[in-house]
Amino acid sequence: MKIILASGSPTRKDMLTKMGMQFTVVKPDCEEKVENSQTMESQVKRLAKEKTASVYNKFSQEKDVLILGFDSLVEVDNQILGKPKTKKEAFEMFQKFVGKKVGTFTGMTVAGNVNGKYVEKTIVEKSWLVFRSDITNCQIRLFLDFDQWQGKAGGITIEGIGAFLLADIEGDYQNVLGIPVIKMGEVIRELTGKSPLKVFTK
């Protein structure tokens, strides 16, 4: 079965690669527009579906293909945050995180053809990051100077030194990185009737 990762995220590509999975990356052709009128859950669902659909259209004639699409957003004080465009914007986001419990929501859509039949399922996985209350502006600037904030929802990354800004993580660690791996496996089992071990390996 052909597996397509509908994402331009280096982190998501790296996660699947490290798991030994066989897949192809195709960057989705759609705008990631945050709608403040929508709930966090609705937004990540919508964006994951849109990304997956834009890539599926290129492979719709394949008999056996699965498209994996994701979108992550963070929420603090009922404010939804996407990816910061500048270091200044990232700094302002991190100032909001100090001493707060920040929600990380990932929408995941798995869609494609299994034996020629179209299948699709979208889920949302939620995790929370508890930021230290003693974070200073100087520490935020030091973190941002490493440029690990780029391309991340809320500018948050916990793979590098960003982990030192946290007091705790509640929920799925891999979800915070961008792929709720356990949930992904459950969805693939449901849609294909096969173990992900068979689906992802040649």
The CATH code of the domain that includes 151 is 3.90.950.10
At 199 the pLDDT is: 86
At 202 the pLDDT is: 58
- What residues make up the domain containing 102? 2-199
What sign has the CA pseudo-torsion 131, 148, 28, 25? Answer: negative
Q: Which residue has the tokens 């096969």?
A: 194
Closest CA to 47 of 66, 11, 73, 21: 73
Q: What is the largest CA-CA distance in the chain?
A: 56
Task: Count up the domains in the chain and report the number.
Answer: 1
At 158 the pLDDT is: 85
At 160 the pLDDT is: 83
Instruction: From residue 130, give the alpha-carbon distance in Å to each of 1, 98, 110, 127, 166.
Output: 39, 9, 29, 10, 6
pLDDT tens sequence for the chain (202 residues):
999 999 999 999 999 999 988 999 999 998 877 777 788 999 999 999 999 999 999 999 999 999 999 999 999 998 998 889 999 999 999 999 999 999 999 999 999 999 999 999 999 999 999 999 999 999 999 999 998 899 888 998 888 888 999 999 999 999 999 999 999 999 999 999 999 998 887 5
Give the three-state DSSP class for 117.
Answer: strand
Give the three-state DSSP class for 136.
Answer: coil
